[in-house]
A and B are shown apart, each in its own frame.
Chain A
Amino acid sequence: MEVDREDGRSQNQLRPLACSRNNLHRAHGSASWSQGDTKVLAAVYGPKAGTKKNENPEKACIEVIWKPKTGQIGKLEKEYEMILKRTLQSICILTVNPNTTTSVIIQVANDDGALLPSAINAACMALVDAGIPTRHLAVSICCCVARSGLVVLDPTKLEEQKMKAFAYLVFPNSVHSVLPEGSPSGQGEPIQNGIITSVTHGIMSVDDYFYCLERGRAASTKLSDFLRKNLQQQSTDSSKAG
């Protein structure tokens, strides 16, 4: 059973991805990520000295500021800031620069569905651009569950509103290992199967959710390859003199 999508994509097809790094010159790291019409800019400043009041000074601290395209900052922005902060805290190596703060600023340029996943992807690219030490990167995808039970990837805003439920999933990126024993794993599964973050919206059955996870993992492999290609290309392009 096929689902008709307005832009003619198949259910597993992602929108055209585009990203670029080093857009902003004052920021220590910056990236712009777009999936179809959704476009997000991320900038990273840091590490800066000192941590905020309630934070642990033995570790590096990450601060996220989310700026919407229009309107005032409300609960939605605060929630996205918290989710992004906790996701980035889990991928950064916080013990390398203790008692410092790294600020990640997200500016929404256009919202056409899958906003939080795009922001997470942009923030990871910006962290790499700034040279913040990370354990691995996070790739993020949005999976929607249609009323018929089919899972559709990377919805537009209209599709998100029409569907029964959707889930934003964040996985670690896939690992290409030169070691013969392969990639590190936890609990017998490869590391890219673990979920860093999951935020769901709407009612779905438990089986629908596990189905979303499977599709999300498959798509995250594609996204990881895109990220890897993009980062390798840009690092050979940029001149050493800076």
Chain B
Amino acid sequence: MGLPNASADLSTEVEVDAFRRLFPLRFFEKHLLESIRPDARPLGRARDTTIALGAVASANGSALAKIGSTTMLAAIKMEVMTPSMETPDEGCIAIDFHMPPICSPIVRPGRPAEAAPVVAKQLSDTILSSGMINLKELSLVSGKAAWMAYLDIYCLDADGALYDAALLAAVAAFSHLEIPVVSLNDDGKIVLSEEQGLSDNDPVNKEKRKVNLGSIPFSLTCILHKNYILADPTAEEESIMETSVTVVLDTSSQLISLYKPGGAVLAYTSAIQDCIALTRPRVKELQKILEEAVSGMEVD
């Protein structure tokens, strides 16, 4: 930043890629002046999003979600456990988020990424507080047996907006989840019924059923830079302009979370209102994509 003249002279001679690496902020600002981003997106548009359900065949529910290049794989496995004394007719959900070294060059084995526990905790808070899953539905025999759902989300490619993609993958995995059939055997224990005709015991639940989802949370991360608001940043944008605001709205337009972890740019009320206004259409868009994916699975 100390030699503006030098860079102005260089900018005519230096190649675009080199300029992008040497003066990343200037490179982005030149684009922002024209209200566009280097990948040709307008400022308020998110990247292309796809969801594929049933990516992991051995899991009870799974989904692969991609927002641009950011790829998240979510899988749910169900296990029977004894519910706690304080909540004898509620099940439990354990959410974990992993960033294996495959996702990014800054993550090395043995050195867990700084973002991983933070995103895991955020996801856990959002999913449990949004009321999407009623824990009472996960109960089997009150006080004796209930379902524990282990939701694991793996980041396969970290290209910005990790929380958005992870939340989408988690929600899609829950939409795909089918609770397996179990029955009570003679010892009073719950066992998985492999085939319905053969078992002598009464099945506790008649058939594989889907979980009823309440209102589903969807999110959008925006970056604030001077007076600009950029929706759905890539990893490059996130590293240069560090102030991000994540808005999580559910399908009934309630605010589940507004997360702004520090950052050099202060968010005034107008900026917050703009971010929420950008999130509303995105929620509808994501809801449509999820419904198309679910109905696509049911046809099969």
User: Is B276 in contact with chain A by the CB < 8 A criterion?
Assistant: yes
Q: Mark A78-95, 1 if CB is under 8 A from B, else 0.
A: 110011011111100000
Docked CA distance A135–B282 (Å): 36
Interface of B is mostly: mixed
**Contact across chains for A186 and B131 when beta carbons are under 8 A apart:** no
Interface size class of B (residues with CB under 8 A): 35 or more
User: Is B22 in contact with chain A by the CB < 8 A criterion?
Assistant: no
**Contact across chains for A86 and B261 when beta carbons are under 8 A apart:** yes
Residues of B within 8 Å of A213, CB to CB, are 269, 272
User: Is B229 in contact with chain A by the CB < 8 A criterion?
Assistant: no
CB proximity of A160 to chain B, nearest CB, Å: 12
CB proximity of B30 to chain A, nearest CB, Å: 22
| Complex interface: stretch among B47-55, B154-162, B201-209, B247-255 | B247-255
Residue from A85, A194, A204, A210 in contact with B266 in the complex, judged by beta carbons closer than 8 Å: A194
Q: With contacts A82-B114, A187-B227 known, is A199 near B266, CB below 8 A? A: no
Mark out the residues of chain B between 205 and 241 whose CB falls within 8 Å of any chain A CB in the assembled complex.
Answer: 227
| Complex interface: stretch among B58-66, B79-87, B117-125, B144-152 | B117-125
**Contact across chains for B266 and A86 when beta carbons are under 8 A apart:** no
Docked CA distance A82–B269 (Å): 24
User: Is A65 in contact with chain B by the CB < 8 A criterion?
Assistant: no
Residues of B within 8 Å of A134, CB to CB, are none
Docked CA distance A196–B259 (Å): 11
Docked CA distance A139–B228 (Å): 26
Interface residues of A (CB under 8 A from B): 54, 74-76, 78-79, 82-83, 85-90, 167, 170, 172, 186-187, 189, 191, 193-206, 208-210, 213
**Contact across chains for B254 and A76 when beta carbons are under 8 A apart:** no
**In the complex, residue of chain A having the shortest beta-carbon distance to the beta carbon of B96:** A75
Docked CA distance A89–B268 (Å): 19
Residues of B within 8 Å of A172, CB to CB, are 266
**Contact across chains for A209 and B250 when beta carbons are under 8 A apart:** no
CB proximity of B260 to chain A, nearest CB, Å: 5
Docked CA distance A65–B258 (Å): 24
Docked CA distance A129–B258 (Å): 32
Q: With contacts A195-B266, A206-B276, A210-B269 known, is A201 near B129, CB below 8 A? A: yes
Q: With contacts A78-B121, A79-B117, A79-B122 known, is A203 near B266, CB below 8 A? A: no
User: Is B270 in contact with chain A by the CB < 8 A criterion?
Assistant: yes
**Contact across chains for B117 and A75 when beta carbons are under 8 A apart:** yes
Docked CA distance A194–B227 (Å): 13
Give 21 CB contacts A-B under 8 Å: A75-B120, A76-B121, A78-B118, A86-B242, A86-B261, A87-B262, A172-B266, A186-B268, A187-B270, A191-B266, A197-B260, A197-B262, A200-B255, A200-B257, A201-B257, A203-B130, A203-B250, A203-B255, A206-B276, A208-B255, A209-B258
CB proximity of B166 to chain A, nearest CB, Å: 14
**In the complex, residue of chain A having the shortest beta-carbon distance to the beta carbon of B254:** A203
Residue from B250, B261, B267 in contact with A83 in the complex, judged by beta carbons closer than 8 Å: B261
The CB with the most chain A CB atoms within 10 A, among B106, B118, B227, B243, is that of: B118
Residue from A79, A85, A193, A204 in contact with B262 in the complex, judged by beta carbons closer than 8 Å: A85
Interface residues of B (CB under 8 A from A): 106, 114, 117-118, 120-122, 124-125, 129-131, 227, 242-243, 250, 253-264, 266-272, 276
Residues of B within 8 Å of A204, CB to CB, are 254-255
Docked CA distance A42–B259 (Å): 24
**In the complex, residue of chain A having the shortest beta-carbon distance to the beta carbon of B279:** A206
**Contact across chains for A79 and B118 when beta carbons are under 8 A apart:** yes
Docked CA distance A213–B270 (Å): 12
Residues of A within 8 Å of B256, CB to CB, are 200, 203
Residues of B within 8 Å of A199, CB to CB, are 259-261
**In the complex, residue of chain B having the shortest beta-carbon distance to the beta carbon of A95:** B1
CB proximity of B280 to chain A, nearest CB, Å: 9
CB proximity of A149 to chain B, nearest CB, Å: 12
**Contact across chains for B259 and A82 when beta carbons are under 8 A apart:** no
**Contact across chains for B267 and A194 when beta carbons are under 8 A apart:** yes
CB proximity of B78 to chain A, nearest CB, Å: 23
**Contact across chains for A78 and B262 when beta carbons are under 8 A apart:** no
Given A79-B122, A187-B270, 20 other A-B contacts at CB below 8 A?
Answer: A78-B114, A78-B117, A79-B118, A82-B114, A82-B118, A89-B262, A90-B243, A90-B264, A186-B266, A186-B268, A194-B267, A194-B268, A195-B266, A197-B263, A198-B258, A199-B260, A201-B129, A203-B129, A205-B253, A208-B255
Docked CA distance A82–B256 (Å): 21
Residues of B within 8 Å of A195, CB to CB, are 260, 266-268, 272
Docked CA distance A206–B258 (Å): 10
**Contact across chains for A197 and B261 when beta carbons are under 8 A apart:** yes
**In the complex, residue of chain A having the shortest beta-carbon distance to the beta carbon of B115:** A82
CB proximity of A57 to chain B, nearest CB, Å: 15
CB proximity of A116 to chain B, nearest CB, Å: 11
Residues of B within 8 Å of A75, CB to CB, are 117-118, 120-121, 124
CB proximity of A54 to chain B, nearest CB, Å: 6
